Structure 1
């Protein structure tokens, strides 16, 4: 229970990365508002809160400690930050800024775990899910058609998105394509404008946590 001991509601809101007013509205059930899925996800993943207890009052409030999360140096860093956040590239090279390490052997060769926030252009990964990504250092050796987190410089409008990457007839360029039918059209970028690229190796589903 110690993980849920905060001095003030503001401290709790800050830990959940939400506005204090939003948390206050939820806790007071303002206008019939329940606990949002985003808050449930963060309470469950960060603090081992039992979702059934949170919404239905069933079971124990705190689950047994997550078997994947370790207090040791073993594992891959988890960053509770959107892929659209401009701070992400800096965070990925500063493991000390990570929330904690996740020790899940199938993905222990990855660079980081990241949450998916909002509407994904790759519908396989829904809001609230956590993806395992591995940094790409050679943009000439890619797996065509696979999903990547792609980040580009200001010359290409600072793209930060999950896209399927396809081969372009010009070897200096790549085609970025969404698999989500709500986001149509291809984006062509030059490799020189890509600042970072990460292949998505998979995701941690809630039944694994």
Structure 2
């Protein structure tokens, strides 16, 4: 069944059904229900899946023959996930600076003048979309998609008021009573004018609506790295 193979691919990528459906602008539960009930997935949606997830082997998806991934690279000791828009272009090779948020005192000064800060290292992963930098994440609001200690690679958004792609994952700096709060969330439209809704992957975290002008720095999450250590 094609739907069963879609489920296997989602599991192999380590993403949730919610994130997968969200990335395809599909209604929530539409794909997860098809996988669970072993029902067919429409051809239009399959085209969207193959266009969005370019590492997925179309022959394997449709027939079950061959390998799941077109380029099945195994990164020793780590898992890399890319979160790409349809407008993204892969960069064959780039050096992505990895910053220590504590050393740079937050996203606002980092985004204002990143040349003033020395990165702790550089990350080189081929065929990712263009990234401006990378930081370690803390907290469990995006678990299991992200966990504390993972690295996220991001693209800065300069025009916060007009540059949001609704439903995508963002790294945000929020002003809460004069203090900076840094988090990773999905951003959705809010009912109240001038507000946005912050949505967690972790269902134990409630959605929160905040004023858009409280967002002081914003970056679109483009990829993540999880290091798997053997103990």
User: Residue 192 of structure 1 corresponds to which residue in structure 2?
Assistant: 213
Give ranges in structure 1 of 5+ residues lacking alignment.
Answer: 1-73
Match of residue 195 from structure 2: 173
Distance between the aligned counterparts of 1:79 and 1:135, measured in 2? 14
Match of 2:110 in 1: 91
| TM-score (normalizing by structure 1) | 0.53
Deviations 1:6-54 (A, max 9, x none): xxxxxxxxxxxxxxxxxxxxxxxxxxxxxxxxxxxxxxxxxxxxxxxxx
1:93-146 Cα shifts (integer Å, max 9, x gaps) = 3334211222324346212111123x3211111122211111112232322222
Give the number of equivalent residue pairs.
Answer: 131
**Matching of residue 138 in structure 1 with residue 129 in structure 2:** no
Corresponding residue SS for 2:101: coil
Contact 2:107–2:217 (Cα < 8 Å) also in 1? no
TM-score (norm 2): 0.49
Q: Please state if 1:120 is matched with 2:175.
A: no
- Secondary structure of the corresponding residue to residue 202 of structure 1: strand
Indicate which of 183, 201, 218 corresponds to 1:161.
183
Q: What is the alpha-carbon distance in structure 2 between the residues aligned to residue 106 and residue 156 of structure 1?
A: 39
Q: Is the 8 A contact 1:155 1:193 kept in 2?
A: no
Over aligned residues, Cα RMSD in angstroms?
Answer: 2.7
Partners of 2:127 and 2:178 lie apart in 1 by 34
Change (3 A) 1:157 1:182: farther
| Preserved CA contact (<8 Å) 2:96 2:123 | yes
Indicate the SS of the match to 1:175.
strand
Structure 2 unaligned residues grouped into runs of 5+: 1-93
Contact 1:82/1:115, CA 8 A, preserved across alignment: no
Distance 1:187 1:157 in 2: 17
- Between the aligned partners of 1:136 and 1:106, the Cα distance in structure 2 is 21
Cα gap change, 1:82 to 1:115, in 2 (>3 Å): farther
User: Are the equivalent residues in 2 in contact too, given 1:122–1:178 (CA < 8 A)?
Assistant: yes
- Large movers: runs of 4+ above 6 Å: none
1:80 paired with 2:100, answer yes
**Do the aligned partners of residues 111 and 206 (structure 1) sit closer, same or farther apart at CA in structure 2, a change above 3 Å counting?**
same
